[in-house]
Amino acid sequence: MDLLDKDFLINFFYLALKEVERRKEDINKLNVYPVPDGDTGTNMLMTLKSSLEEINKINPKNIGEVSEAITKGSLMGARGNSGVIMSQIFKGMNIVLKDKEKITPKELSLSLIEGVSKAYKAVIKPVEGTILTVSKSFAKSFYEEIKRGKSFEESYFNALKETRETLKKTPEMLSILKEAGVVDAGGLGFLVFMEGGFKAISKREVEMEKIETKEAKLYQKLEFPYDVVILLKTELDEENLMKDFNLNGDSLIVGREENLIKVHFHTDNYLKLIDYFQKKGSLIKINVENMQHEVDILSSKEKEVGFVSVSRGEGFNKILKDAGVDEIVDGGQTFNPSTKDILDAIERINSKNIIVFPNNKNVIFSALQTKELTEKRVEVIPTKSIPECISSLTIIDKNLPVDEMIEEIENIIKNIRTIEVTKSIRDTKFNGKLIKKGDYIAIYDDRIYNSNDSPEDTAIISLKNLEIEDGTLITIYYGEEIEEERAKEFKEKIEKIFPNCDIEIYSGGQPLYYYIISLE
Amino acid sequence: MTKIVVDSSCDLPDEYFKEKDIKIIPLYLKVGDKFYKDGVDIKSEEFVELLKKEKNLSTSQPPLPDFINTYKEIIEKGDDIISIHITGRGSGTYNSAKMAKEEINTDKIDVLDSENISAGYGFIVKRVCELVEKGLSRKEILTKFNEIVSRVQIFFTLNTLQYVYKGGRVNDVKGLILNVLDIKPILHMKEGLPRIYKIIRGRNNSLRELSRIVTEKIKESERNFELAFIHLDAKKELEELKNNLLSKLQPKYHFTKIVGSALGVHAGPGALGVAINFLED
C-alpha cells in the first residue's frame, strides 16, 4: 500500500475546493438552517480558500505541515457556521496528522474520526441532520471499510455512497429541512468537498446520482398557484401570439397541435391569463388547477382550530386566505349561502373545532344551524362584515385554546366599525329619512347617509359624522366596479381629511358595494 | 482588572463604551462578496442609507482572529476578560467567541451569552460593568449572570416585514407571511430568540400598543427600572413615544440610540423599540 504524502493532500484539498467552487450555488440555494441566508456555499468556499492561501504561503515539507496549514488557514478564515465547523474538522484531523511525514489511508480515516468528534465538541448544542451528521457518516463508514480490508479507493468510494444516503435522510432528522423540502446545505457542502477530493484518489467517475438541489421552499406558499392549460384556435403563429405577453408566472410552454395552440402556464391570476388569450383567438378548452390546494393538503396536519368565512370578491378571498381562513364559502348580501354550503366547508377542514364567520347579518342563522348537523364543535362568531373577520383573524394568537380565542375575537370585533357604501335600488325611507332610488348610500350600524354625488362623497359624509380618533386605522376595500386609480385618489382624499390616521387600501373585489371601509 | 468585551450589536450610548473602556469587536456587514466592519467602515447613519439601497445586505459574525487578537492584547496587559455577546441562538458570534477562548487556551476569559439584542443586550453589559466596578469577582458575576439576563426585556415593532422575512431569523415569522394585508407586528426576545409578541394592524395602533405593553410591564413589576429607546430611521415617531412614556413613567436612567446594524438588517427602516432593565431592590 502506498503511503499518502504531502503532494497527495495538497492535490486532494485543491480538487475538493474546486468542486465546492463549481457547485457553490447549488449549496447556497439549499441553505435554510440555522439561518436561511443562502450563503453556506460561499462561506465554505471562503474558508477553504483561506486554507489554500496558507498552504501556498508556507511551502510545507511533509503531510503534517500541510495539515497544519489547512487548519490554521481555515481557523483564521472561517466564515459562517459551516465554515467554522469545517475548520474544527480540520483541527481535529490535525491532531492525528501533525508531525507526520506520510500517512496510511487508515491514519487518514482515523484523523477524520478525530475531526468529526472535535466538530461535535465545538458546537455548543450539536444538532443532527446537519453537516455534523453527514461528516460523521463519512468518517465512520470510511473507517469501517478500511478496517474490513477494502482498498483505499474502494473504501472511500463506498463511504461517499453511504454519505449520500445520510444526506438524503437529513430532512427526516431536522424538521425545518423537511418543511422546506431540501437536504442540509452544509451537509451537501461537505459531501461535495469529499467528492471533489475523490478525484485525487481515483480516475473513476463518482457516480453522482444527482442530489436534488431545488431552491428551498421555506413557506409552502406558491407564488404562482394556478396551473393553467389553454387550448386555443388562432390564426397567429406562436411568436405573434406571445408578442405582448407580460403576465407574471413561470413554466410557460407554448406548443402547436395541428391548427390548435396549447399553452401551459403557472400564474397567480388566471383570469388575466384567460383574458389575454381570449383576445388572440377562440378558446377551445381551459383547465385551471390550484396547486396550492394540493400543497396544503399534503402538508396539512390536523389543525387545532379551523376557520370558515363567508365572502364574496376575489380580493377579499385572497386576504382572508392570508389571514388564515381555511375554507371560504361564496356568498354575501342578496346571495346568502345555504346551511349546506357552510356545512360542506366545515367538513372539508381537517380539524375538530371550527369557527365560522358569517360576515353578514342574514347569514348568521344558517351558520348557527350547522351546529346540529356535524360531529365537530362549531362556534359561530356573529360578524356582520368581512373586515371584522379579516382584522380579528389577523391579529389573534392562533395558539390560544378555542374558548379563549373566541372570547378574544369577540373583544377585537367590538373595536371594529364598518361602513358599507352602495347604491339604493329603490325609493325608501330609513329612520324617517327619504332615500331616492339611485342615491349613493353609506351604511354604518343603523345609521345611513345618502347623497347623489358619488360613492366617495357619500363615504366621506359618513366618515365625517363618525367620531374618529387620531391614530385610527382606516382600511378601504374597493369593490369590483371601482378602478384601482379611482380608489387611490379616494385614499388621498381621505388622507387629507384625516391626516393623523393610518389609511390602507386593498382591492376587495366585492359586487354591489363600491367601498367597504373599516375603522379600528 | 477585568475588562469587558462586546460585539458591535451591543447598543449603549457611544460615550458609555469610551468611559468604561469597553472593547467592541465589530460584526461584518456583507454586501455581495464584500465585507465591511460594522461601526468602523460603516457608521450607523450611513448604514440606514445602505440598507435602503442595497438588496443583498447581511451581517456575519466576526472571524476568529478578530476575537483572538483582542483577547490576547488584553491578557498580555495582565487583565482578564468578560466577553458578552448577542444571543447565541440568533448569531454565530457567541460560538466564535467561545472558540477563540479555546484557541488561546486560557482561564482568563468568560464568554457569556446575553440571549438578547440591541439595547436589551446593552443593559446586560451595563449591569455587568457596574458589578465589575463594585469589585465583584468574575466568578461572582457569573453566578449572577442568569438573573441579570432575566431582568431585561425588549419590545419592538417593525414598519415593514420585508427585512425580517428576507433575513429569516425570526422563525415564527412564517405565520406572518401575508401576501396582501399589511401588518405591524410587535416582537420581543424570548429564550434568546426574537418572537412575535402581538400582531397589530396600522402603524399608529402598533405604536400605541407598544407603549401600552411597556407601561403594563413596568406597572406589573413594581420595581425601579431603566429604559432604552431604539429606532432605525423613525426618529420622530420615537420622540413622540418617548415623551409619552416619560410623562407617565420615571426611569432611573434612560438613553436613546439608533439600532445597531445587526438588528437593523433584519428589522428594516422604521423599526422602533423599547428595552426595559428592571433593577434589583
Whether the predicted pLDDT of B83 surpasses 80 = yes
State the residue for C-alpha cell 331616492. Answer: A436
Mutate to test the interface with B, among A49, A71, A79, A226 (most CBs of B within 10 A): A79
Whether the predicted pLDDT of A520 surpasses 90 = yes
d(CA A28, CA A384): 49
Amino acid identity for residue A302 in this structure: E
- Terminal Cα distance for chain B, rounded: 27
B182 to A218: CB separation less than 8 angstroms, yes or no: no
Residues A87-118 as b or e (16 or more Cβ within 10 Å = b): bbbbbbbbebbbebeebebebbbbbbbbbbbb
Using an 8 Å Cβ cutoff, are B253 and B148 in contact?
A: no
Q: A506 in contact with B at a CB cutoff of 8 Å?
A: yes
Q: What's the pLDDT at A496?
A: 95
Which of A35, A391, A500 shows the shortest C-beta gap to B169?
Answer: A35
How many beta-carbon contacts under 8 Å exist across A and B? 100
Chain A neighbors of B200, CB-CB under 8 A:
395
Q: What's the pLDDT at A369?
A: 87
Q: A79 in contact with B at a CB cutoff of 8 Å?
A: yes
Between A475 and A429, the higher pLDDT residue: A475
Q: Which three cell numbers stand for residue A76?
A: 483564521
Instruction: List Cα–Cα distances, A261 to A25, A236, A264, in angstroms.
Output: 37, 9, 10
Chain B neighbors of A123, CB-CB under 8 A:
95
Q: What is the mean pLDDT of residues A326-331?
A: 92
A 10 A CB-CB count for A474 gives 23
Closest CA to B258 of B115, B5, B48: B48
A 10 A CB-CB count for A335 gives 14
The mean of the pLDDT values for chain A is 87
Among the residue ranges A89-103, A234-248, A474-488, B122-136, the one predicted with the least confidence is A234-248
Q: What's the pLDDT at B19?
A: 96
Using an 8 Å Cβ cutoff, are B71 and B100 in contact?
A: yes
B201 to A37: CB separation less than 8 angstroms, yes or no: no
Using an 8 Å Cβ cutoff, are B13 and B123 in contact?
A: no
- Which chain B residue shows the shortest CA-CA distance from A32? B168
Band the pLDDT of A298: cuts 50, 70, 90: low
State the residue for C-alpha cell 354575501. Answer: A332
Chain B neighbors of A520, CB-CB under 8 A:
201-202, 205
Whether the predicted pLDDT of A218 surpasses 60 = no
Which of B168, B179, B208 shows the shortest C-beta gap to A37?
Answer: B168
Amino acid identity for residue A378 in this structure: V
Whether the predicted pLDDT of A217 surpasses 50 = no
Whether the predicted pLDDT of A56 surpasses 80 = yes
Band the pLDDT of A294: cuts 50, 70, 90: low
Strand partners, A419: A444, A517
Whether the predicted pLDDT of A270 surpasses 90 = no
Chain B neighbors of A79, CB-CB under 8 A:
60, 63
A76 to B63: CB separation less than 8 angstroms, yes or no: yes
Among the residue ranges A161-170, A446-455, B125-134, B159-168, the one predicted with the least confidence is B159-168
State the residue for C-alpha cell 354550503. Answer: A341
B65 to A81: CB separation less than 8 angstroms, yes or no: no
Instruction: List Cα–Cα distances, A142 to A62, A100, A153, A280, B64, in angstroms.
Output: 23, 21, 10, 63, 31
**What count of residues does chain A have?**
520
A35 to B103: CB separation less than 8 angstroms, yes or no: no
Which of B30, B92, B204 shows the shortest C-beta gap to A84?
Answer: B92
Quote the ipTM score: 0.79
Amino acid identity for residue A136 in this structure: K
Closest CA to B94 of B34, B149, B21, B132: B149
Q: What is the mean pLDDT of residues B133-159?
A: 95
Q: What's the pLDDT at B179?
A: 61
Q: Tens digit of pLDDT for each residue in B18-73?
A: 999 999 999 998 887 788 898 888 887 788 888 888 877 888 889 899 999 999 99
Chain A neighbors of B61, CB-CB under 8 A:
80
Burial class (CB in 10 A: 0-12, 13-18, 19+), A344: middle
Q: What's the pLDDT at A431?
A: 73
Q: Tens digit of pLDDT for each residue in A395-452?
A: 888 888 999 999 999 999 999 999 999 998 888 877 777 888 888 999 898 788 888 7
State the residue for C-alpha cell 394585508. Answer: B181
Please tell me the distance in Å from A306's CA to the nearest CA on chain B: 15
Burial class (CB in 10 A: 0-12, 13-18, 19+), A491: middle
Which of A79, A87, A473 shows the shortest C-beta gap to B201?
Answer: A473
**A338 contacts: CB under 8 Å, gap ≥ 6:** A366
Using an 8 Å Cβ cutoff, are B191 and A236 in contact?
A: no
Q: Tens digit of pLDDT for each residue in B199-228?
A: 898 999 999 999 999 999 999 998 999 999
Q: What's the pLDDT at B172?
A: 58
Q: Tens digit of pLDDT for each residue in A338-387?
A: 888 899 999 988 889 999 999 998 889 889 989 888 899 999 999 999 99
Q: What's the pLDDT at A137?
A: 96
Band the pLDDT of A458: cuts 50, 70, 90: very high
Band the pLDDT of B5: cuts 50, 70, 90: very high
Q: Tens digit of pLDDT for each residue in A225-256?
A: 888 888 888 888 878 888 888 888 776 777 76
B181 to A323: CB separation less than 8 angstroms, yes or no: yes
